């Protein structure tokens, strides 16, 4: 069994408003609250805490369905994908969830055709999701949006297909993903484990394994080197989604938690990620009640014909 302290630590952070802060002593935040609700809903231990947290999260929702990191900074709407996951099993907040889904489906950021003499490697015309409105799409927000929509049963939606196409286009030639640039001025850029984990998780129901084998190899090579929570958790989730959950996951998660002696208590999102990584049988999707029959492979990204 994974260390029980993660769940307890998260529950203890809940504030009077129902929201959760990133760290003790801080104010509640939508992203931290959504991660706490994901843990509470998948653990199914405390419905009162879950309902209070969900109500706080709903209070942060704008009329167009988005949930931003700060009500005064509406362009930073990346927590919307987390909220969709947080409300997945809730009938009471179904309307709020559907409103967020509608927002996410209509949100794509800035995209533009690739110029002939472009100094970047990727195709900037393929739709993904940005961190912040009116900016370009990047790997992690695209991955999170795809995961949220897949869990919501929209794995076949065109936007999810486009997201898969965008992620494959941004995969580095030697395997792995970084934040979302493959080449600049002729040089191939370096992969990063946290981005690779998110991308592999998002693509796990969309494409054939042969298209991402090098990226799985990259993560498997990185795994023994990782101790910090965000990279370790996304690496475990990315590998698990492809049936490669490390046999020593609980040891790895325990070692990461021990690092708090060095760095202080982790943020709530980091703790939540470690919780999900330790509990998942097969990736983040498997923590939720999802209809896998709705997940199909994108035409051109399906298994190559021999």
Partner 1 sequence: MSKLVSTPEASTLSRRDFLKASLVGGGLAISGFSLLRYLNGPRLTAHTFIGKARDYQTNLATLILQGLRELDITETIIKGRQILLKPNLVEPHKSTAHINTHPLIVRGAIEAFFHLGARSVVVAEGPGHRHDTLLVLEDSGLADVLYEDRIPFQDLNTMTGIPMKNLGQYTDLETLMFPRLMKEVDWIVSLAKMKTHHWVGATLSMKNLFGVMPGMYYGWPKNVLHHEGISESILDINATLKPHLAIIDGIIGMEGDGPIMGDPVQSGVVVMGKNFPAVDATCCRIMGIDPYRIPYLKKADQWLGPIHSTFIEQRGEPWQAVQHPFALTPEIPAHQGIQLKSV
| Contact positions vs partner 1 (CB under 8 A) | 22, 26-27, 29, 31, 69-70, 72-73, 75-76, 78, 110, 130-132, 134-136, 138, 140, 178-179, 184-187, 189-190, 192-195, 226-231, 259, 262-264, 267
Nearer to partner 1, 80 or 231 (CB): 231
Please state the closest distance from residue 203 (CB atom) to partner 1, in A. Answer: 18
Nearer to partner 1, 26 or 64 (CB): 26
Nearer to partner 1, 220 or 225 (CB): 225
Nearer to partner 1, 101 or 192 (CB): 192
Please state the closest distance from residue 130 (CB atom) to partner 1, in A. Answer: 7
Please state the closest distance from residue 187 (CB atom) to partner 1, in A. Answer: 5
Nearer to partner 1, 147 or 301 (CB): 147
Please state the closest distance from residue 25 (CB atom) to partner 1, in A. Answer: 12
Please state the closest distance from residue 156 (CB atom) to partner 1, in A. Answer: 28
Nearer to partner 1, 30 or 155 (CB): 30
Nearest Cα residue to 37 out of 105, 93, 87? 87
Please state the closest distance from residue 229 (CB atom) to partner 1, in A. Answer: 7
């Amino acid at each position: 069994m994974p260390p029980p302290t993660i769940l307890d630590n998260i529950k203890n952070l809940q504030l009077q408003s129902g929201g959760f802060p990133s760290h003790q002593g801080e104010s509640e935040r939508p992203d931290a609250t959504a991660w706490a609700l994901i843990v509470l809903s998948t653990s199914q231990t405390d419905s009162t805490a879950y309902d209070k947290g969900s109500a706080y999260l709903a209070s942060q929702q704008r009329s167009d369905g988005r949930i931003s990191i700060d009500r005064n900074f509406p362009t930073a709407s990346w927590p919307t994908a987390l909220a969709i996951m947080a409300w997945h099993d809730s009938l009471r907040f179904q309307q709020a969830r559907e409103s967020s889904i509608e927002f996410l489906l209509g949100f794509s950021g800035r995209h533009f055709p690739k110029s002939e003499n472009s100094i970047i490697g990727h195709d900037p015309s393929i739709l993904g999701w940005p961190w912040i409105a009116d900016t370009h799409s990047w790997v992690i927000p695209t991955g999170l949006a795809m995961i949220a929509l897949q869990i919501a049963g929209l794995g076949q939606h065109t936007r999810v297909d486009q997201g898969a196409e965008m992620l494959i286009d941004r995969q580095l030639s030697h395997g792995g993903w970084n934040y979302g640039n493959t080449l600049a001025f002729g040089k191939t850029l370096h992969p990063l484990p946290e981005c690779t984990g998110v991308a592999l998780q998002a693509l796990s129901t969309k494409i054939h394994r042969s298209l991402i084998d090098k990226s799985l190899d990259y993560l498997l090579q990185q795994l023994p080197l990782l101790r910090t929570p965000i990279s370790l958790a996304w690496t475990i989730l990315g590998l698990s989604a492809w049936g490669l959950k490390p046999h020593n996951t609980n040891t790895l998660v325990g070692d990461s938690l021990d690092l708090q002696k060095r760095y202080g208590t982790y943020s709530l999102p980091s703790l939540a990620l470690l919780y999900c990584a330790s509990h998942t049988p097969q990736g983040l999707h498997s923590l939720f009640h999802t209809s896998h029959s709705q997940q199909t492979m994108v035409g051109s990204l399906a298994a190559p014909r021999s």
